[in-house]
Amino acid sequence: MSERARRIAIPLVAFLFGLVSLGVVAVMTLTPGGREVATSDVGGPFTLTDHDGNQVTQDDFLGEPHLLFFGFTHCPDVCPTKLFEISEVLRATAEEGRELNALFITVDPERDTPESMRLYVQSFDDRIIGLTGSDEEIDAVVRSFRAYKRRVPLDDGDYTMDHTALVYIMDDQGRFVASLNTTQDPQAAAQELLGRI
C-alpha cells in the first residue's frame, strides 16, 4: 500500500470503527441489560432553548411528527454527516413531509450556545431546529431518550463527545416510534419515515 493510500485509509478505518462503536453503544443504551425497551419508555417531557433563544418544551412540537438527533457543533464527522442525511431525507419527503421538522439536541451545552447552534444548523435544512440548555436540562433529556453522552479529553487539552447517533422518529403526540436508517438512499429513507408516521 502506498504512503498516500495509507494516510487516507487510517482515518477512514478510525471513522468506521467509531461509527460501529456508536451503534453498539446506542443498542446497549436502548436495551439495557439485554432486555427490550418499549417505545413508550423512550422520550419524555423536556424544557430546552431553541437556536433563536426561545424556551421550548416537548409540547411545542406536538401536532406534527418529527425527527430527533443528539450531537454537537464541534463534532468532526458523525454529526455533520447525519445532519446532511437528515436534510436529504426531509427533502425527499417532498410535499407529503413539508411540515416535518428535526430536532438537533446538543450533548455539549458548554460550547453550544443558541447562537452557535443557529449558525450550525443553517448549513443544512431550515427545518432542523437546534436545541441547547443547561447541563442539567441536557442530562435529563438524554436520560429520558435512553441516549448516551460522554466527554472525552483530547491530548491538546480540548475535548470531544461520544454520543448516541440514532435518529429518533417521533409521532405527532411526541411518542417515540422507531429509529430511522438515514444511511440508505434518501428516497427509501423518506418512504420508511412516511410509512411510520
Residue ranges of the binding site: 75, 79, 163
Q: Are 89 and 186 in contact (CB under 8 A)?
A: yes
Q: Are 88 and 160 in contact (CB under 8 A)?
A: no
Strand partners, 159: 153
CA pair distance 192, 89, nearest whole angstrom: 10
Binding residues for Cu cation, as ranges, are 75, 79, 163
3-class DSSP assignment, residue 153: strand
**112: its cell numbers:** 453550544
